[in-house]
Amino acid sequence: VTANSIGNEFYNVSVDEYGQVVVEWKKQKDMELTQSFHYYDAMEGNNEEFRNRSSGAYIFRPKNTSARNFVNSASYEVHTGPLVEEIHQCVTDWICQVIRVYSGMEYVEFDWLVGPIPVKDKIGKEVVTRYYSNLNSSGEFYTDSNGREMLKRKRNYRPTWNLELEEPISGNYYPVTSKISLKDDEKLLKLSLLTDRAEGGTSMRDGEIEMMIHRRLLKDDAFGVGEALNESAFGEGLVVRGSHYIIGGSIQNLDELAVKEKTLARQLLLRPWTFIQSIEKNSSAPTP
């Protein structure tokens, strides 16, 4: 198909010249976001010194405060149909994703596939995806607490002491069991991301949600496991596949959006169970 965008009643999704995915809300004209992949080089330290430990299974310690970009523009193809429209995109030969909108469903699915993370350069890498919206979130974001209440997080801040962060990235990372949200109190807009598994996440810039999706590290962080986080399968690093679901809109009617988010969360966490029975050849299928 020669189209360069997909959409349904709620969203229009396209890929821009830099390979970033652009999501535009159809009903909420003043709301949009771009999505992209990045990675941090992992710290390889001297574990004898407390402030110089390696990034490992227990701790996330990027070497630099800025994540690396992927230089090549991503290749992609578009598949459309009556039920679902998909963009199949590859950012590198080890990061690909499917962006998906279903007819009548008020969310955008990002089905990402990362790995095996290359480590021939002897540098561990921690891969993140960023959703950068035009919301002014004023340094605040919300993460869930084991799928229960949402807790307010404030960038570079702790509620009970004056904070001076020596590790500005990892010091702002929080557990995301199933949901992370941003709000714009002036525009009265809200953006939420639901996950299919527990991940780490943050908001390092206003309007941005950053999620860590895969890590491959070559050094033990000396906190107890005694092994580097360097799993291999079939002689290569692990490949990870997972999904993010983006939902958002106006909070003028907060109850309506909350119900939509809750309903989606329940459907994701308690998905239908599929059982399969083969039909043997020459046998008639069960009749209604």
Partner 1 sequence: EKQLEHFREAMGVMQHHDAVTGTEKQLVAYDYARILYDGMQQGTNIAADAIRKWRSTGNSNFAPEQMHTCMQLNISTCLYTEDKDFVLAIYNPLSQKVVSPIRVPVQNGKYNVIDLADGNELTSQIVPIPNSVREIPGRKSTSTHELVFLASLPPLGYKTYTVKRSSENISPQV
Footprint of partner 1 on this chain (CB under 8 A)? 57-58, 79, 81-84, 86, 88, 90, 96, 98, 102, 104-105, 113, 116, 223-227, 231, 233-236, 239, 241, 263, 266-267, 270-279, 285-288
Shortest spacing between CB 236 and partner 1, in angstroms: 5
108-114 and 240-250: which strand pairing? antiparallel
How far is 152 from 166, CA to CA, in rounded Å? 22
265 Cβ contact list (under 8 Å, min separation 6) = 147, 178, 179, 194
Shortest spacing between CB 241 and partner 1, in angstroms: 6
Cis before residue 82, ω within 30 degrees of 0? no
Q: Which is nearer to partner 1, 97 or 133 (CB)?
A: 97
Q: Which is nearer to partner 1, 25 or 107 (CB)?
A: 107
Q: Which is nearer to partner 1, 90 or 123 (CB)?
A: 90
Q: Which is nearer to partner 1, 22 or 59 (CB)?
A: 59
How far is 61 from 67, CA to CA, in rounded Å? 12
Shortest spacing between CB 124 and partner 1, in angstroms: 15
Q: Which is nearer to partner 1, 252 or 278 (CB)?
A: 278
Shortest spacing between CB 73 and partner 1, in angstroms: 17
Among 178, 175, 185, smallest CA distance to 139 is for 185
Shortest spacing between CB 51 and partner 1, in angstroms: 21
Shortest spacing between CB 233 and partner 1, in angstroms: 6
How far is 36 from 97, CA to CA, in rounded Å? 11
Both structure tokens of 203: 């908001």
Q: Which is nearer to partner 1, 161 or 234 (CB)?
A: 234
Tell me which residue has tokens 């690093």: 237
Q: Give the 3-state secondary structure of residue 241.
A: strand
The answer to whether the beta carbons of residues 30 and 7 sit under 8 Å apart is no
The DSSP element (H or E) to which 89 belongs, if any, is strand 84-92
